[in-house]
A and B are shown apart, each in its own frame.
Chain A
Amino acid sequence: MIGQTIAAALGTVAFSVLFGVPRKYYGYCGLVGGAGWCLYSILTVYTACTAVEATFFAAFLVVLLSRFLAVWEKCPATVFLTAGVFPLVPGTGIYWTAYYLVTDRPAEAADNGFAAVKAAFAIVLGIVLVFEVPDSFFKMKNK
C-alpha cells in the first residue's frame, strides 16, 4: 500500500506537469494525490466501505486539501484539484466496460459501466460539497 501511495503521488506530479502547474506546486499536488489514494485504499481494505463510498471520502479529502492549499498559497484550487483527483477517476471501470462490450458480455459491461458512473458521481458530490464551504472557514484555520 505504501508503494501504491508513492505511485499515486508520483503519478499526480506527472499529470500536474502535463497540465502546466507551476513548478513550485508539484510537491503539493503529489501530496494531495497521494493522500487521496491513501485514504481510498485504507477505507476499502480495512473498513466495510464500498469502492464508491471510499471514492467519495477520498474525493472529499482531496478537495478539502486543495482548498486549504489554495488559501494558503493564494492561488486557484483548480491547480491542486485537477491532478489530485486523477488517482480516483474510474479509469479501470471505463476499460473493463469497453472490454466486456467488445467481448460480448453485456451484463458485465453494464455492471462495470454503472460502477464507473457511480464512482464519477461520488467525485462530483465530494467536489460540490466542499466548495459549498465558504472561503472564510479555510482562512480561520490558517491563523
Chain B
Amino acid sequence: MVTIRRNRGELRPEQSLAGPVAGGARASALRALRYLSIFAMFFVIYLGVRDVVPFSRWSVNSLLLALLLLLVLFLRYEEKDFGAREVAVVGALAAVGAAGRVIFAAVPGLQPATFLVVLSGYVLGEESGFLVGALIALLSNIFLGHGPWTPWQMVGWGLAGFSGGLLSRLFRGKVRALPLALLACVWGFLFGWIMNLWFWLSFIYPLSWASYVATCAASFWFDLLHATGNLAFSLVLCRPMAEMLLRYRERMEFRYLGDGEWLRT
C-alpha cells in the first residue's frame, strides 16, 4: 500500500485520486432515487397482482421489474463514489469477460463470463461485481445481438457478481477456491432459471408451475453444461486470477496521512 503525505492547502482526498465523494445533496438525491425505485418495484408487483392493465401483462411487468432492479443496483454503485481505479478495473474486467463470452459463443451453455463475474464480486466487492456482470452482458451483446434477453442477462450476471461480494464477506475477504467454485456452479443453474423466467412470463400461457418446470426442463442440459464449465473454470483459474486481482487492488491502494503522521510511519 502506498501512503501519501498531505500538507495544508493540498487537494482534499475527495478531489484527487479517489474521485469526488458524493456528499450532501448529490448523495441524498441518489439515495432518494434508489429508495423510490425500490418502492416502484413493489408497486409494479402490486399492480400486476391486482390485475391492473397494462401491469397485469407479465411480459411488460417483468421487463419493468428487471429495469428497475438494474436502476437500483446501478444507483448503489453510483452512491459508493468509486475512484478511477475501480472505474478502470471494472471496464477492463467487463472487456475480458465479453471477449471470453464471444469466443465461447460457439459452445452453447459454456460461459467463462460467469466465473469471472463471481470472482470480481468476491475480490472487488458487491457493487463492482454487479457492474462487471451487467456490463459483460451489455458489451458482449453488441456482437452477439441485443434482444429482450439483454436486461435479464444483465440482472442474472449482475446478481452473480453481487452474490460473490456477499460470499467474500462470509470469509472476510480470504480467497477460498471451493466455495467460490460452488457458487459459480450454482449460478450456472440460477442464471438459466432467471433467463427461463423471462421467457416463461412473456411467451408461455398459462403461468403455472408445470409450464415453468417444462420450460426449465427444456434448458436443463444447457444449464448443466454452464454449471460444469463454471466449476471447471473456477477450480483451475480461481487462485491465479484471484491473486492477480488482489495484487492489482493492493497496488492501487493508498491512504492519506495527516499532518506530521508521516514522521511516525
Partners in one complex: no
